[in-house]
Structure 1
Amino acid sequence: MTSPQSSPRTVVAFDLDGTLVDTAPDLLDALDLVLSDHSVAPVDRGQARNMIGGGARLLIVRALTGAGIVLPDAEVEAMTKRFIASYADNIAVGSRPFPGLIAALDRLEAKGAVLAVCTNKLEHLARLLLDALDLTARFPVITGADTYPRSKPDPLPLLSTISAAGGAVERAIMVGDSMTDVLTARATGVPVVAVSFGYTETPPGELGADRLIHHFDELEQAVDALLETSRA
């Protein structure tokens, strides 16, 4: 019989942009910078927030398309490199954890959960951001789009993140803000909590998550409920 000490710990894996941290201010400032090289006006902040999450290149392409501009791949790659460099230099000027996050992490840790980050942000940028916000120590495992050969919504990153955290699929939960996160959780076989305050073009209530929360004050209860359901 498996002893309590050898039982896998609960792992709560978080997306980063739009879930843990409101990174839109700094991401969109970097976007405006590279767009200005092609005389494109600054993007509308309300609309552009929901374009975040697919990576720097896709964000740039979508902004260019919205402005009616098509560029050669080589130029887009150059813009992407400049975007990443500028963003890295200004990664936490306006980015801040969402309200209630720190207290929510405290409550989960107090119950013995291992916290992890599973993001499609480049790993070095994820670590740079978390370092700047003094959050790195909260997450023993941090994985990004380039940590593994495939990125979300492929199940590999989440499966590997859970394993690296010493957990098992049966005792893991994903927390995210987008369809990518929901699809990742479904492919991995873990329950998923969606936050309503992130970056998504699909209305949060239509993402198909197991639980939808509107503030981090609600996270502990959502996690407890999903863990209880998984034991049933």
Structure 2
Amino acid sequence: MPTVIFDLDGTLADTSGDLIAAANACFGALGFGAPLKPKADAATAFQGGRAMLRKGFERVNGRADEALIEAQFPLFLRQYEAAIDVHTQLYPGVREAMDRLRSAGVRLGVCTNKPERLAEILLTRLGVRGLFGALVGADTLPVRKPDPAPYRAAVNGAGGQMGRSVLVGDTVTDRETARAAGVPCVLVTFGPAGQGVADLKPEGLLDHYDDLEAVLAPLLG
């Protein structure tokens, strides 16, 4: 069966607003205000909680204390879970594209570096969890992307085969994951990097989910 595995943050949904709000809540509690900006720092948001905390501390302190980042990370997760879908939205055409692929017999899954529990909550709140046969998060296995093991687990969980699978993502992490797994990679161009993701030389570029099948067709065989 052909199988398509999707990253979550920055690929299926724009989660940057809620991620940055959670990080800024940590800084606010420390008396640092809100050093991160939803639009300007969206790319950092898609790199994860620690990346946002690191950038924020660099701005307010001139340096990032890794011990302080680790101390704040659990608070970040609690803040994020409490307001996980205030600003977050699926990218245009996602639901319709998933329905079309499923109708064509394509197996679908999600492989994300978001903690599995939070990914489960978010996809459920967005009303699309039932569209994916597998969900592998940052803590599902002892390793995370770009290690290929989570991708393989997502393909297997969706009932697919590695040889007929594609990873759709938005960052260098997804590109490296696909390369390590030996599968084609499609990168979306509607994230903060825009057409700049072409520099990562993925096998395909996706400008809109309306075009998903046309981009996937030559890669799935």
Relative to the length of structure 2, the TM-score reads 0.93
Contact 2:166 2:186 in 1 (8 A): yes
The alignment partner of 1:47 has SS state of coil
CA distance, structure 2, for counterparts of residue 146 and residue 38 of structure 1: 31
Larger Rg: 1
Which of the numbers 22, 27, 33 marks the counterpart of 2:19?
A: 27
Aligned to 1:66: 59
The alignment partner of 2:39 has SS state of helix
Report the residue type matching 1:23 in the other structure.
T
Aligned to 2:125: 132
Aligned to 1:15: 7
- Output the aligned Cα RMSD: 1.7
Aligned pairs for 1:35-184 within 5 A: 35-36=27-28, 37-70=30-63, 72-184=65-177
Contact 1:178 1:199 in 2 (8 A): no
Structure 2, gaps ≥5 residues long = none
Contact 2:184 2:203 in 1 (8 A): yes
Contact 1:50 1:201 in 2 (8 A): no
1:201 positional shift? 9.1
CA distance, structure 2, for counterparts of residue 129 and residue 111 of structure 1: 26
Q: Percent identity?
A: 37
Contact 1:51 1:201 in 2 (8 A): no
Residues 128 and 180 of structure 1, relative CA distance in 2, 3 Å threshold: same
CA distance, structure 1, for counterparts of residue 178 and residue 213 of structure 2: 18
Report the residue type matching 1:149 in the other structure.
P
Structure 1, gaps ≥5 residues long = 1-8
Relative to the length of structure 1, the TM-score reads 0.89
1:20 positional shift? 0.3
Residues 132 and 146 of structure 1, relative CA distance in 2, 3 Å threshold: same
- How many equivalent pairs are there? 220
